[in-house]
Structure 1
């Protein structure tokens, strides 16, 4: 975690709402994320990508577009941001977290993110955002340590404990 990320995190602690906050435009905006994994059991790995702005490690995520549901948006974001295709595991989102998306031009926005587990099918060498991001596979415990969003860490930890037990 960079010094900038630590300062941002501290500031978010003071302004992060426990419920819907009208200062962020009312109702939280919905996003979907794909926790893309490969392998099974102890050899299971999670794919992380870098954010475009700060280069911190995250999972592919983004806005749910018109005509999409959460799983479709997670699949699309995984392709656009990391060049992978796969299958969303049944049973709905593996978890959920809330964060404040910082946008300089449009203002900050409160976001609710549903995280879907996605089993890797194929990994391509070229994808829409290849020049803007890096992707890398990590063992689950290492990935949890690299992710900066506490809510996302919790979702990943819980989801993969359940997946490993299944």
Structure 2
């Protein structure tokens, strides 16, 4: 991520949900994300993938498609973006965050993202977006340091505390 990208990200944090600038869609869009963990105890690792546009490290996430609920979308996105099959933990989303999705061909959009907790079941060598992204497992503290969305960092911290206590 370049210095310009970081500065732009910081400025985006100060955009209000009611921001009326012409380049920003006002109604928040819903997305679903997966915090996928493997291992046990303090040795747990979190799965991160690179974004297609900037190559920054993120969790698998995307739009909720017709006929899906948030958990289904999290499972699908995890497969498409990382080639990982996980098991959604009960209890609904472990948290949510909001970010500004910057789109080159369309107006930027405010996205509300529900994050679901998944435990690794299987990891495949081939997956739909393999040529477009990288995937990597990181110790949780390292992963939090690599993630740029502040709200997502908080959700990951809470999810890690939740599974440690379980």
TM-score when normalising by structure 1 = 0.94
8 A contact 2:25–2:107 mirrored in 1: no
Check conservation: 1:31, 1:61, Cα contact below 8 A: yes
* Cα 1:30–1:20 shift into 2, 3 Å: farther
Once the two structures are TM-superposed, the CA of residue 9 in structure 1 deviates from its matched residue by: 1.5
Q: Secondary structure at the match of 1:91?
A: coil
CA contact (8 A) 1:21 1:27 kept: no
Unmatched tracts of structure 1, length 5 or more? none
Residue 66 (structure 2) aligns with = 66
**Secondary structure in 1 aligned to 2:26?**
coil
Q: Flag structure 2 segments of 5+ consecutive residues without an equivalent.
A: none
Q: Does 1:151 align with 2:151?
A: yes
Say whether the 8 Å CA contact 1:38–1:119 is kept in structure 2.
yes
**How do 1:3-152 residues align onto structure 2 when only pairs under 5 Å count?**
3-14=3-14, 16-17=15-16, 19-21=17-19, 23=21, 24-152=24-152
| Root mean square deviation of aligned Cα | 1.3
**Deviation of 1:86 (Å):** 1.1
CA distance in 2, matches of 1:26, 1:48: 29
Give the total of aligned pairs.
164
Is the 1:96–1:114 Cα contact (8 Å) retained in structure 2?
A: yes
